[in-house]
Amino acid sequence: MWGRGFASTARAAVEGRKWDAVVIGAGHNGLTAAAYLARGGMSVAVLERRHVIGGAAVTEEIVPGFRFSRCSYLLCLLRPSIIRLSLTFHTFWIFNRTCPSLFVGELELKRHGLKLLRPMAAAFTPCSDGRYLLLSFDEDENRREISKFSRRDADAYMRYENQLDKFSSIMNFLLDSHPPEFQHEVPSFSDRMRSRVQKSVFWARCLRQILSMGQKNVMDFVDLLLSPTTKQMVSIDSVRSGYVLLHHVMGEFDGDRNVWAHVQGGMGSVSLAISNAAKEAGVHILTNTEVDKTISPPGKHVVSLFTQYTPYKPSNGRWEDLTYREQYVQRCFSLIDEYAPGFSSSVVGFDLLTPPDLEREMGLTGSSIS
């Protein structure tokens, strides 16, 4: 955490200069935007109210000696084009100001310290009778695993995965494409021509993507996006809308789809790598932090429990009540003990982030992570 003198100096440096753009919040999204704006030739400052950068993608020491990825826990949805090194044509319109078009390198996050670790498995589901379902990233192994329960489901799952793979291609195109700009002012003749060319190129590429899928796949794709979650085919995915489901299966690791990567040093390392890229581009960030490569002492481990559907206002208590919070944690531990006996006895400390905590500390309105 900064001393008062350093904070005052940094604040004076920001207030005493006119910036092209000021990004409020040093979360991974804000840092990414700042880096690209600076690479586009703008002077950029990032202001973060906390003592640590990263927002929800942060690594912090909660229990002495142990560092935790407090909120986000896996890297999946950060676009591969941002991570890798490539040259892409970018134009920015900020505050009705057009920056010069130029070739801008991507953020090269691996060069800036990001190290991804491939997970050993995709999902592990224990059963109370001692059986389990272990899904990997190998199609044949998954077929054998699911066949232990149902050969019919195994065949259906393979069709399900192949279908999602086709749908992911069009989602990747949509997310990585630059949509046409809408002019709010009366444009010049050259601006109108440029806009028409951009729109023609964009919609022509969309049409090619749609035609390549075929009519049936297009109808199934639209049906998936608009369907209620009860129509989803796998229970772990049925808690999401079709649109969010597609975002989840689009995650990549070194070119492999639907693989969520662990990050060496915790999720704060993602934000640190982006901040390094941003600083290299000239971004001024008010906070500063280091991330030392391990997140727990030798022989020890940290565990993140992602508990969904926790109410913002419980009907049987209050999150502000320390006793109620302690009882909630113990109930969670006892449920885990049913499948992993002795788990609770190995816990040396914990951190609980309830919906109001996420809203207050991370700025996630209503605790929404979307």
pLDDT for the residue numbered 120: 85
d(CA 90, CA 87): 9
Kindly report the pTM of this predicted structure. Answer: 0.66
pLDDT for the residue numbered 303: 87
List, in sequence order, every residue forming a beta bridge with 125; answer none if it has no partner.
133
List, in sequence order, every residue forming a beta bridge with 44; answer none if it has no partner.
21
Q: 306-312, long-range: CB within 8 Å, 24+ apart, which pairs?
A: 306/73, 307/332, 308/239, 310/354, 310/355, 311/355, 312/355, 312/356, 312/366, 312/367
pLDDT for the residue numbered 31: 93
pLDDT tens by residue, 93-138 = 333 333 333 334 478 888 888 888 888 888 888 988 889 999 988 8
d(CA 32, CA 56): 14
Please answer whether residues 281 and 35 qualify as being in contact, where contact means their C-beta atoms are separated by less than 8 angstroms. yes
pLDDT for the residue numbered 73: 84
pLDDT tens by residue, 9-25 = 556 666 677 889 989 88
pLDDT for the residue numbered 276: 92
pLDDT for the residue numbered 300: 87
Of the candidate CATH numbers 1.10.260, 3.30.70, 3.40.50, 1.25.40, the domain formed by 1-118+261-304 belongs to: 3.40.50
DSSP 232-290: -SSTTTTTS-HHHHHHHHT-EETTEET-PBEETT-THHHHHHHHHHHHHTT-EES----
pLDDT tens by residue, 197-222 = 888 888 888 888 888 888 888 888 88
Q: Which residues of 272-289 are buried (b: 16+ CB within 10 A; e: fewer)?
A: bbbbbbbbebebbbbbeb
23-37, 243-257, 338-352: least confidently modelled range: 243-257
pLDDT tens by residue, 221-271 = 888 777 665 554 455 555 566 667 777 677 777 777 777 888 899 999 999
Q: State the average pLDDT over residues 306-313.
A: 83
pLDDT for the residue numbered 320: 93
pLDDT for the residue numbered 108: 84
Q: How many Cα atoms occupy the beta-carbon half-sphere of 208 within 13 Å?
A: 8
What is the band of 38 on the pLDDT scale with cuts at 50, 70, 90? very high
pLDDT for the residue numbered 185: 67
Residue 347 carries which DSSP code? -
Q: Where are the domains of the chain?
A: 1-118+261-304, 305-370
- pLDDT tops 60 at residue 150: yes
Q: Token pair for residue 54?
A: 């990263």
What is the band of 76 on the pLDDT scale with cuts at 50, 70, 90? confident
d(CA 27, CA 9): 22
- pLDDT tops 70 at residue 142: yes
Q: How many Cα atoms occupy the beta-carbon half-sphere of 265 within 13 Å?
A: 17
pLDDT tens by residue, 84-97 = 644 333 333 333 33
Q: What stretches of 73-188 show up as alpha helix (H) in DSSP?
A: 80-83, 139-147, 151-176
d(CA 164, CA 217): 10
Percentage of the chain beyond pLDDT 90 is 23
